[in-house]
Structure 1
Amino acid sequence: MNFLPCDLIVDGVRISYRDRGASEPVVFVHGTPSHSYEWRNVVPHVEAAGHRAITYDLPGYGRSERPVDRDTSVAAQTDLLAGLLDALDIEQAALVAHDIGGAIGQRFAVAHPERVRRLMIIDTVSYDSWPSETWRKIIEEQLEGHMHLQQEAFDALLTRQLEMTVADGAATMTDDVLDAYLAPHRSALGRVSFFEHQVRHYDSRYTEEIADQLGSLTMPVHILWGERDQWQPLAYAHRLAEDIPGARLTVVPGAGHFVMEDAPERVTAEILGFLAEEDLSGRSCTEPDDEGRGVRGSEEPDKS
């Protein structure tokens, strides 16, 4: 079954997307090395709960177009997000953004605060937290060579990286799940596109240059983080929670960087709870429960 059944042209680029449900629009922005497949165990439940969920593959990722001679940096992806909302006639939405998608979410919220009703960032890149030393070395010294890797070598490289995104490594990233993450790169074009449209743009300047503007955000912000994230240390989650006024941090015990793979039910519950919370304008009326949901500016206690 195709998770993204529709295509839309935004600023001359074909974007594959899914748009189902009604009520408050919620836009899901995936990370890297990934595509919208990462939301497969979350988005249908958000739709079933009565929300309009929009999920899409970033240009250069997944099923969306891999444009030639087109900027697919975090800054450009932020502009394309604005174009996508315009094309779908959405003036304001909640954003749920993961990893590099979280950088897009942060930049979009800073640039267009009036269009973001609420923001959830999940195990996001931030400040100077990225790229890792492995990717930095590839970008600076080996990018062109890696674009011409044979399929077996590429699969081995990306599999090692994907195994690091989850708490139990190869036990989760195996069989159909691993195949789905590797599928967009099972061709020479796909392999080149991975390095050209994703790896080339692993650059902390996109988050460092807005770091001093995070304090201007006024919409409700929820930070969700896997306790065992090997790529984005938990210290960055605490830093974001301190710098964004009223932001709430929730740490998911035992989960890794792809927290939606390790704990999809918990992620779904956190998203639905956040969408139901009272925001700063008083729209919606969910009271905090016994575990502190709805209480902003605090970290939830660990739950095992």
Structure 2
Amino acid sequence: MGLIDELRNRLAVAIAAPEVQSFARGLDLEIQFGIDEAAVAIACRNNQPVVSIPSNAPDIALSGPATAWLKVLAPCPPPTYHSFSSIQLRNTSFTVSGDALVIAQARAFLEAVFANLTAPAAHAVEVDLTRLEGRYHRVHSAGGQIAEIYSEATGTGRPVLCLHTAGADTRQFHGVMCDPELGRDWRLIGFDMPHHGRSMPPIGWDGSIYQLDQPTYLDWCASFIEQAIGEPVVVMGCSMGAGIAMALAAERPDLVKAVIALEAPVRPRGRRNEYLTHAGVNGGWHSAAYVRGLMSPSSPSEDRRRAAWIYSQGAPGIYDGDLAFYSDEFDGEQIAKLIDGHKIPVHLLIGHYDFSATVSDAYALAEWIEGAVVTEMPELGHFPMTENPPKMLDYLRPVFQALRSLPL
């Protein structure tokens, strides 16, 4: 069997997956997949995808050499061969063409197709959510705003503040927060930023466009620590949460005992695009697909799907508005050079499948923070605590063990 025949068969299996069928709704287009001079297509008509003979005018075309496609079709594709978005945005072996709006409209479908080209990964491990206690806190920011902020906590011991990623909420950390072993020595606390998850916009919000900036983000985090927790914390954040964790260590060291930065970037420019908030694109589907491409193919399929689901529930414009901070403003070099590594230990954990914050980013940050420790996670992506909690815990346990010696 030739490689194009193998791809045709894989595509036929992929488009039969329930989630792929779901994301085909409303699409009316042809997507062509090329291997050297050969090609195969998927046609989406009347809400039904079918493998078809390629035409001369596909709406979207993705082509690459056989050597590259062999990596895509491997049992566990390597980084930048593992998802549609990684191929489109980071893989120079492939060419992707088509109208940008059409690609945005089809992104959820394409990510689901690529996720189903290989055999499903391991089954997800159930998490005991009954360990969590949730409540609201009326938090007054230093900038004069008031928000009813929802938080969850579990465990006993010294406080660890878990900060979610752009466009998401504290549910991302459930698999880590509910671990009984961590809960014996640490009280794990997470809160949904205003406009996110179960936290409504601040009181008096006038419906204007949401755009997060570093001073506002730092203010909400510091105010929550002071008013809801009442003592310095270990800050564990992911992505933009890792960025603001480092900013807290730099600008409010009185509130920080240590930093655990998951997927921390240096300058992650280019993550924003005009279709994140666009009248012609389903925002829930697009945001979920845009982050799905950042996850590892070896993480359990159900956990990856749930990680994307959190993004599909974000309010319109919130993910885009968070990226104003994360992608447009944040400068990891500037922040890292202000952190006193002698007083505040910093651990940088980085997944190989993350192309937003990279392994090289982690080592660059460590060069600017004295004593910072980098831990590579070859089998994880941008959302390690959500896409594969048991594997994330394998990497976190030694970190928390090292932090047990922190002074009270």
Q: TM-score normalised by the shorter chain: which range applies?
A: 0.7 to 0.9
Residue number in structure 1 paired with 2:91: none
Render the CA deviation track for 1:220-272: whole Å, top value 9, x for unaligned: 11111102212112101111121111111111122111122343223224333
Residue 160 (str. 1) matches residue 298 (str. 2): no
Counterpart of 1:24 in structure 2 is 158
| Alpha-carbon spacing, 1:214–1:30, altered in 2? closer, same or farther (3 Å) | same
RMSD: 2.9
Relative distance call for 1:245 and 1:5 in structure 2 (3 A) is same
Bigger relative contact order, structure 1 or 2, given CA contacts below 8 A and separation 6+? 1
For residues 244 and 208 of structure 1, the distance between their equivalents in structure 2, rounded to whole angstroms, comes to 9
Task: After the TM superposition, list the runs of 4 or more consecutive aligned residues in structure 1 that deviate by more than 6 angstroms.
Answer: 1-4
Question: Is the Cα contact below 8 Å between 1:217 and 1:245 reproduced in 2?
Answer: yes
Cα deviation for residue 52 of structure 1 reads: 1.1
Structure 1 counterpart of 2:201: 66
Question: Whole-Å Cα distance in 2 between the matches of residues 156 and 182 of structure 1?
Answer: 6
The letter for the 2-side match of 1:237 is A
Judging by fraction of residues, say which structure has more strand.
2
Q: How many angstroms does 1:37 deviate by?
A: 1.6
Question: Which of these residues, 306, 323, 328, is aligned with residue 199 of structure 1?
Answer: 323
- Give, as a single letter, the amino acid of the residue that structure 2 aligns with 1:247: A
**Conserved? CA contact 1:74–1:103, under 8 Å:** no
Which structure 2 residues correspond to residues 1-304 of structure 1 after superposition, within 5 A? 5-11=134-140, 12-45=146-179, 48-67=183-202, 68=205, 72-126=212-266, 128=267, 130-132=268-270, 134-135=271-272, 138=273, 142=274, 147-149=277-279, 153-168=282-297, 171-172=301-302, 176-183=306-313, 185=314, 190-195=315-320, 197-201=321-325, 202-214=327-339, 218-277=343-402, 283=407
* Identity between Structure 1 and Structure 2 (%): 19
Name the CA shift for 1:25/1:203 in 2 (closer, same or farther; >3 Å). Answer: same
Q: How many angstroms apart in 2 are the aligned matches of 1:159 and 1:240?
A: 28
SS in 2 for 1:191: coil
SS in 2 for 1:108: helix
What is the alpha-carbon distance in structure 1 between the residues aligned to residue 169 and residue 151 of structure 2?
11
In structure 2, relative to structure 1, the CA distance for the partners of 1:213 and 1:223 (3 Å cut) is same
Determine if contact 1:164/1:230 at 8 Å carries over to the other structure: no
Conservation of the 8 A alpha-carbon contact between 1:20 and 1:47: no
Task: Give the match's secondary structure for 2:361.
Answer: helix
Shift of 1:5: 2.5
Q: Give the 3 Å change call, closer, same or farther, for CA 248–146 of structure 1 in structure 2.
A: closer
Write the deviation string for residues 198-235 of structure 1: whole angstroms up to 9, x where unpaired.
23333234545424323566311111110221211210
What is the aligned partner in structure 1 of residue 13 from structure 2?
Answer: none
Q: In the aligned structure 2, how far is the partner of 1:153 from the partner of 1:173?
A: 22
When normalised by structure 2's length, the TM-score is: 0.58
Alpha-carbon displacement from aligned partner over 1:171-221 (angstroms, at most 9, x marks no partner): 4576555333312x3xxxx213443x4233332345454243235663111
> 1:274: Cα distance to partner?
2.0
Q: Against the structure 1 CA distance between its residues 47 and 14, is the aligned structure 2 distance closer, same or farther, given a 3 Å change threshold? A: farther
Tell me the CA shift for residue 158 of structure 1. 1.3
CA distance in 2, matches of 1:246, 1:175: 36
Distance 1:74 1:23, change over 3 A: same
Q: Describe the shift of the 1:52–1:171 C-alpha distance in structure 2 as closer, same or farther (beyond 3 A).
A: closer
Does the C-alpha gap of structure 1 residues 160 and 17 become closer, same or farther in structure 2, counting only changes over 3 Å?
Answer: same
Kindly provide the CA deviation profile for residues 103-150 of structure 1, in whole angstroms up to 9, marking residues without a partner as x.
111110011223211111000123x2x232x51xx3xxx4xx854536
Q: Work out the CA distance in 2 between the residues paired with 1:180 and 1:225.
A: 21
Q: Secondary structure at the match of 2:337?
A: helix
SS of the equivalent of 1:250 reads: strand
Q: Deviations over 1:60-90 (max 9, x none)?
A: 2222122326874232111111111111242
Contact 1:28 1:95 in 2 (8 A): yes
Q: Distance in 1 between matches of 2:240 and 2:402?
A: 25
Q: Which residue of 2 aligns with 1:295?
A: none
More moved, 268-277 vs 226-235: 268-277
Distance between the aligned counterparts of 1:277 and 1:176, measured in 2? 31
Go from structure 1 to structure 2 and tell me whether the alpha carbon gap of 1:270 and 1:52 turns closer, same or farther (over 3 Å shift).
same
Equivalent-residue separation in structure 1 for 2:253 and 2:291 (angstroms): 33
Change (3 A) 1:172 1:237: farther
Over 3 Å counting, the alpha-carbon distance change for 1:204 and 1:71 in structure 2 is closer
Q: TM-score, normalised by structure 1?
A: 0.76
What are structure 2's unaligned runs of at least 5 residues?
1-128, 141-145
> Partners of 2:407 and 2:395 in 1: how far apart?
18
